[in-house]
């Protein structure tokens, strides 16, 4: 296990990559805010697999621009020593750990990335400036690292969709790879913010993934069945305060009537806001499948599916 080079300045980062770049290697990049967990480890592994012998760069930077007033910027977990150990264990070559002045010399930039309408829905309703901050820092980090491939978790699905959109709309020439969410045995999606949960809240937090699972099981019966079954499951959980539960297209456009879609949830458990999402495949809603005798060909199946959600 070789320790990665730790670059704290733009010049150190450029120096650490110069020889590999000159030799024609492809560069893979995993931007993070640190507090790394097994979900990040999986992103590092995807990055390594995508460039073979080429260099893998990770960044650890808690980006003030993406935190709104009253959010957890000050208490966001900072665990650099453990982060560097994880990077070493997963074959990272360079860890870029810039200070705020290195990323934002002179303060917040005058020119920022306007994330457009996709940033106003879902997370954007509660966090109106969040994605402007995310896209601006990701664009800057892309400019500094100049990766061929960048890996992001599907856990932050709206972030991933917006980064794909930014790369396409601004012709940034980076191959954006989404990596599947890593979950605890009870289904809770791994997140650096899970550390805020006390044991009781941690137990309650598993309701988010159970809610998504219940919705996903009802997907063959259409969108209303998905939302209905998910809500039934959520009602069984106490101390989980729903913010949104929505079905959208895979690119987060309007909800499709059938086919591939994404079910997304945000909820508060205590003071901690958690998000999660799941891929679903929507079947035709029962109304669209009504038989000539006025019955739904699969009404018995539908009833069975709803009953197994425990609607009582």
Catalytic residues: 40
User: And the tokens for 106?
Assistant: 């002179």
CA distance 205 to 10: 39
Q: Is 16 in the site for ligand PAF (CB under 6 A)?
A: no
CA distance 20 to 31: 19
62, 76 contact by CB (below 8 A): yes
Per the listing, tokens 């998000």 go with 275
We find the least distance from the C-beta atom of residue 130 to ligand PAF, in angstroms, to be 9
155 known ligand binder:
yes
Q: Is 32 in the site for ligand PAF (CB under 6 A)?
A: yes
Sole binder of ligand PAF in the list 7, 27, 29, 31 (CB under 6 A)? 31
Q: Are strands 259-269 and 272-282 parallel, antiparallel or unpaired?
A: antiparallel
- The neighbour count for residue 28, using CB atoms within 10 Å, is 29
User: And the tokens for 288?
Assistant: 């669209």
Q: Is 211 in the site for ligand PAF (CB under 6 A)?
A: no
Task: Give the Cα-Cα-Cα angle 120, 73, 98 (nearest 5 degrees).
Answer: 100
We find the least distance from the C-beta atom of residue 207 to ligand PAF, in angstroms, to be 23
We find the least distance from the C-beta atom of residue 224 to ligand PAF, in angstroms, to be 32
CA distance 223 to 247: 7
242 known ligand binder:
no
Between 127 and 302, name the residue whose CB sits nearer to ligand PAF. Answer: 127
Q: Is 139 in the site for ligand PAF (CB under 6 A)?
A: no
Sole binder of ligand PAF in the list 17, 134, 214, 225 (CB under 6 A)? 134
310 known ligand binder:
no
First to last CA, the chain: 54
91, 56 contact by CB (below 8 A): yes
We find the least distance from the C-beta atom of residue 304 to ligand PAF, in angstroms, to be 39
CA distance 238 to 251: 32
Q: Is 66 in the site for ligand PAF (CB under 6 A)?
A: yes
192 known ligand binder:
yes
Between 193 and 235, name the residue whose CB sits nearer to ligand PAF. Answer: 193
Cβ burial of 198 (10 Å; 0-12, 13-18, 19+) is exposed
Between 98 and 286, name the residue whose CB sits nearer to ligand PAF. Answer: 98
309, 226 contact by CB (below 8 A): no
User: Going edge to edge, which strands form the sheet with 241-248?
Assistant: 241-248, 259-269, 272-282
Which residues in 147-176 contact ligand PAF (CB under 6 A)? 156, 159
181, 62 contact by CB (below 8 A): no
Span from 102-110, 130-138, 211-219, 296-304 in contact with ligand PAF (CB under 6 A): 130-138
Q: Is 188 in the site for ligand PAF (CB under 6 A)?
A: no
Tell me how many residues contact ligand PAF (CB under 6 A).
Answer: 10
We find the least distance from the C-beta atom of residue 142 to ligand PAF, in angstroms, to be 11
We find the least distance from the C-beta atom of residue 64 to ligand PAF, in angstroms, to be 10
Span from 73-81, 134-142, 201-209, 272-280 in contact with ligand PAF (CB under 6 A): 134-142
In the annotated binding site, the residues are 33-40, 66, 153-156, 159, 182, 190-193
- Contact set with ligand PAF (CB under 6 A): 31-33, 63, 66, 134, 137-138, 156, 159
């Amino acid at each position: 296990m070789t320790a990665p080079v730790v670059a704290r300045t733009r010049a150190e980062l450029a120096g650490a990559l110069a020889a590999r770049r000159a030799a024609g290697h492809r560069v893979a990049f995993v931007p993070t805010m640190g507090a790394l967990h097994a979900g990040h480890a999986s992103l590092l592994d995807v990055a390594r697999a995508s460039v073979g012998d080429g260099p893998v760069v990770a960044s650890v930077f808690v980006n003030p621009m993406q935190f709104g007033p009253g959010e957890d910027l000050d208490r966001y977990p900072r665990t650099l020593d453990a982060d560097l150990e994880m990077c070493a264990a997963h074959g990272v070559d360079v860890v870029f750990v810039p200070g705020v002045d290195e990323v934002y010399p002179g303060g917040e930039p005058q020119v920022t990335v306007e994330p457009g309408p996709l940033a106003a829905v879902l997370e954007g309703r509660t966090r109106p400036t969040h994605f402007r901050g995310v896209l601006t820092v990701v664009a800057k980090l892309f400019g500094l690292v100049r990766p061929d491939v960048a890996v992001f978790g599907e856990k932050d699905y709206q972030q991933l969709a917006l980064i794909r959109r930014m790369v396409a709309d601004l012709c940034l020439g980076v191959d954006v790879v989404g990596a599947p969410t890593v979950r605890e045995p009870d289904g809770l999606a791994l997140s650096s913010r899970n550390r805020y949960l006390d044991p009781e809240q941690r137990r309650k937090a598993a309701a988010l993934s159970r809610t998504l699972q219940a919705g996903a099981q009802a997907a063959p019966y259409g969108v209303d069945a998905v939302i209905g079954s998910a809500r039934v499951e959520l009602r069984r959980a106490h101390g989980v305060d729903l913010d949104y539960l929505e079905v959208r297209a895979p690119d987060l456009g309007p909800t499709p009537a059938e086919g591939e879609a994404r079910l997304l949830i945000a909820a508060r458990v205590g003071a901690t806001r958690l998000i999660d999402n799941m891929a679903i495949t929507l079947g035709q809603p029962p109304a669209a499948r009504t038989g000539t005798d006025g019955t739904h060909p699969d009404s018995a199946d539908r009833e069975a599916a709803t009953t197994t959600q425990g609607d009582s």
